[in-house]
């Protein structure tokens, strides 16, 4: 949910849509227009990458926590900026990414948000093996720099576009094996898993995929789930989210997910497209109604 107008507004929007939990960004996710769309010195209308965000005030924290309590929205979750690349072979970008994620954790901690979801990163000009080692080293450094804050990182499985890591469960297992402190969990994304080549439709396919995840990573490490359909086919390695039942996944994978007793205590979040359907209904509300209808 958007935090436009304040962090508490995201909670209000979640409640209005009928959500039980909410995910937010505490920093700009990608890039913001420079000077609110004004032309820069050379006459162009470039976009600049934003690495900084305005400090969170005590008043904002109080409003956010009060909104959660009053509207009974639980399990707030933060998603880190997409600019962060813990696998980067570029030392400057790697260090900047480490500092940025430390700040993300500090901001989440101030808002009493327990987890920050982060994409593992892209190895770009290096290799898959080197990229995985870079991520583990980065997470160890982040834990040293962040100190004793309570917020923890959740590595999100990816679709595998380009040189992105984390699309194979083996990648996640290797990263976790290289992390000294046991302060890293997993966020499972249904669209990403499907795009990466993990089938989820039939009961047997779902069981096989989660058996592999259990064997390599451990179900107990999953602390959040993103419920997204996919615009692209199985194994496409293209990250394009779709509303539930409107994409290539169909509804059966979500039926399996919301009825799996191993995941009954894991909060699940929609990252589906916003807007209204052809009948004029809000897509968030439609998706939530669909999910609840799938519960046994």
- CATH number at 280 reads 3.20.20.150
Query: At 16, is the secondary structure helix, strand, or coil?
Result: helix
pLDDT value at position 51?
63
Q: Is residue 282 part of a domain?
A: yes
First-to-last C-alpha distance (Å) of the chain = 28
The helix/strand/coil state of 230 is: strand
Which residue is it, tokens 């892209």?
A: 122
Query: Average pLDDT for consecutive 10-residue bins of the chain (296 residues)?
Result: 97 98 91 36 46 88 98 98 96 96 96 98 98 98 91 98 98 95 92 98 98 97 98 98 98 98 97 96 98 96
8 A C-beta contact, residue 87 and residue 120: yes
Q: Is residue 8 situated within a structural domain?
A: no
Give yes or no for a contact between 235 and 195, defined as CB atoms under 8 angstroms apart.
yes
Long-range contacts formed by 270-275: CB under 8 A, 24+ apart: 270/19, 270/226, 270/227, 270/228, 271/23, 271/189, 271/191, 271/226, 271/227, 271/228, 271/241, 272/227, 272/228, 272/229, 272/241, 272/242, 272/243, 272/244, 273/241, 273/242, 273/243
In a domain, 1, yes or no: no
- Residues spanned by the domain of 149: 17-28+51-294
* Cα angle 192, 93, 154; round to 5: 35
Does the residue 94 lie in any domain? yes
Q: Based on the structure, what is the number of domains in the chain?
A: 1
Residue 150 lies in a domain: yes
Would 12 be classed as within a structural domain?
no
d(CA 34, CA 38): 7
Assigned domain for 277 exists: yes
What pLDDT shows up at residue 147? 84
In a domain, 6, yes or no: no
């Amino acid at each position: 949910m958007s935090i436009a107008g304040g962090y508490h507004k995201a909670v209000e929007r979640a409640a209005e849509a009928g959500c039980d939990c909410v995910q937010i960004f505490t920093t700009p996710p990608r890039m913001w227009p420079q000077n609110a769309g004004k032309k820069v010195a050379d006459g162009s209308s470039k976009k600049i990458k934003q690495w900084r965000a305005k400090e969170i005030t005590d008043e904002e924290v109080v409003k956010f926590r009060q909104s959660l309590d009053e509207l009974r929205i639980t399990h707030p979750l933060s998603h880190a900026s997409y600019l962060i690349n813990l696998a980067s072979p570029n030392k400057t970008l790697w260090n900047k990414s480490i500092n940025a994620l430390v700040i993300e954790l500090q901001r989440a901690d101030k808002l009493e948000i327990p987890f920050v979801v982060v994409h593992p990163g892209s190895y770009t000009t290096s290799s898959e093996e080197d990229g995985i080692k870079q991520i583990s080293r980065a997470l160890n450094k982040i834990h040293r720099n962040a100190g004793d804050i309570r917020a923890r990182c959740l590595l999100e499985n990816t679709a595998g576009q380009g040189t992105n890591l984390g699309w194979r469960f083996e990648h996640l297992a290797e990263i976790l094996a290289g992390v000294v402190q046991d302060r890293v969990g997993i966020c499972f994304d249904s669209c990403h898993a499907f795009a990466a080549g993990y089938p989820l439709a039939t009961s047997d396919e779902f069981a096989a995929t989660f058996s592999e995840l259990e064997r390599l990573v451990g179900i107990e490490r999953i602390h959040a789930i993103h419920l997204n359909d996919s615009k692209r086919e199985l194994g496409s390695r293209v990250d394009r989210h779709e509303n539930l039942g409107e994409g290539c996944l169909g509804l059966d994978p979500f039926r399996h997910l919301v009825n799996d007793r191993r995941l009954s205590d894991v909060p699940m979040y929609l990252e589906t497209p916003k807007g209204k359907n052809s009948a004029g209904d809000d897509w968030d509300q439609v998706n939530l109604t669909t999910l609840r209808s799938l519960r046994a």
